[in-house]
Amino acid sequence: MIMDRIQHALAATWTPAWLFYGFGNGNSLALEILDLEHVHLTRRFAYLVPRSGSPRLLAHRLELERFDHLPGERILYASWLEFDRGLERLLDGVTRAALDYHPGARIPYLSRVDAGFVERVRALGVEVVSAALPLLHLQTWGPGDLAAHRRAAAVLHEARDAALAFLRSRLPDSPPRELEVQQVMLNVFAERGVESDHPPIVAFGAHAARPHYAPEPESDATLQPGDVVLLDLWAREPGGVYADITWMAGWQVSPEVSQVWEAVAAARDRAVEVVQRAYAAGRHPAGWEADSAAREVLEERGYGEYVLHRTGHNLGRTDPHGRGTHLDDFESHDTRPLIPGLAFTVEPGVYLTGRFGIRSEIDVYLHEEGPEVTTDFQLEMNLL
């Protein structure tokens, strides 16, 4: 099953071979793809998967049994001299191979193999290319994944609604604290049987200007008149794929808050439009294109200096931030295409440090014919 998926990805991208390499548990990409995430490794290994034919494994004699689930020829080593000879044998006849790296480290999410190993492979006469494109084909969702995503999104919507109802029930006489609102959403998660790698973000007022703020007992704030409320929540069914949304509300907010909200919503919509137009024209846009278009809206409205992160991220299985194409021409220049089967968030934000922040986040799935927004689309801020 593992080999079928990898070799299909290689065939789809006309890549002759994929050379996986890691030292211990250092290459998380390789470990995830090769189903080694929960295996304790302390030595170097290399695994060559050709586009067709049988793979080859180079592994330390102490750890050979930890690769029992992987098919192919075994090449063993113990000393560094044996490793060198084994690598030559592993790459015998190979002229071009993909590694988990990216030229110039422009996409750091892919930079998992150290420069020294790349140099050694090139010294053996092998042309090294980035594994960026075959990796994309391992991130696509099938019908079952999409159905699981929709169910997870429905739970997020239910948790959001419960949080908003709780907020309204406490206003104006007994404004709640952030952790109280967070617990309301966690209760829904528990009732519906979904899981998350981190509790939802609930950020009031100035805390919303910190994109990765998380309420703790020592920072737990009480909602005040004039505050925005930022709810960022993500979850998946056990073993499923993630859904991820951010929703904005406010209590007696100023006209300035409304203006920023309108700019962020317009940037969000522009990013989706760029992808829609590209698909309608018969091409798959790069991730950077959607990010650049969204930020252009914010810059035109005078908020460019308050942008602190990319416009969106790939949605994954083991992590809400997946391994596929991100909407990013800000933190990195993501040239990877947005191919059918991928899912991603669109979440532009504006953050006025010490005052307030606004973010709007939706999820998008790419069908062959174009993008579908799979989560609720917030048209205006919820006023409490």
| pLDDT digit string (tens) for the chain, length 384 residues | 788 999 999 999 999 999 999 999 889 999 999 999 899 999 999 999 999 999 999 999 999 999 999 999 999 999 999 999 999 999 999 999 999 999 888 888 888 999 999 999 999 999 999 999 999 999 999 999 999 999 999 999 999 999 999 999 999 999 999 999 999 999 999 999 999 989 999 999 999 999 999 999 999 999 999 999 999 999 999 999 999 999 999 999 999 999 999 999 999 999 999 999 999 999 999 999 999 999 999 999 999 999 999 999 999 888 899 999 999 999 999 999 999 999 999 999 999 999 999 999 999 999 999 999 999 999 999 999
Q: Is the peptide bond before 225 cis (omega within 30 degrees of 0)?
A: no
Whether 255 and 226 have beta carbons less than 8 Å apart is answered as: no
Query: Three-state DSSP class for 175?
Result: coil
Whether 155 and 27 have beta carbons less than 8 Å apart is answered as: no
Region of 217 on the Ramachandran plot (φ > 0 left; ψ -120 to 50 alpha; else beta)? alpha
Domains and CATH numbers, the chain: 2-137 (3.40.350.10), 143-383 (3.90.230.10)
The pLDDT score that the predictor gives to residue 376 is 96
The pLDDT score that the predictor gives to residue 75 is 97
CB neighbourhood size of 117 (10 A): 19
Closest by CA position to 140, among listed 369, 375, 316: 316
The pLDDT score that the predictor gives to residue 249 is 98
Report in angstroms the alpha-carbon separations of 44 from 24, 66, 73, 369. 6, 12, 17, 43
The pLDDT score that the predictor gives to residue 294 is 98
The pLDDT score that the predictor gives to residue 365 is 98
Torsions phi, psi for 54 (to 5 deg): -90, 140
The pLDDT score that the predictor gives to residue 1 is 74
Closest by CA position to 351, among listed 305, 311, 382: 305
Edge-to-edge strands, sheet with 343-346: 343-346, 362-367, 370-373
Whether 219 and 206 have beta carbons less than 8 Å apart is answered as: no
Whether 29 and 35 have beta carbons less than 8 Å apart is answered as: no
Number of H helices, E strands in the chain: 9, 15
What is the rounded CA–CA span in Å between residue 84 and residue 71?
22
Query: Three-state DSSP class for 59?
Result: strand
Region of 24 on the Ramachandran plot (φ > 0 left; ψ -120 to 50 alpha; else beta)? left
Helix (H) or strand (E) holding 235: strand 228-236
Query: Three-state DSSP class for 291?
Result: helix
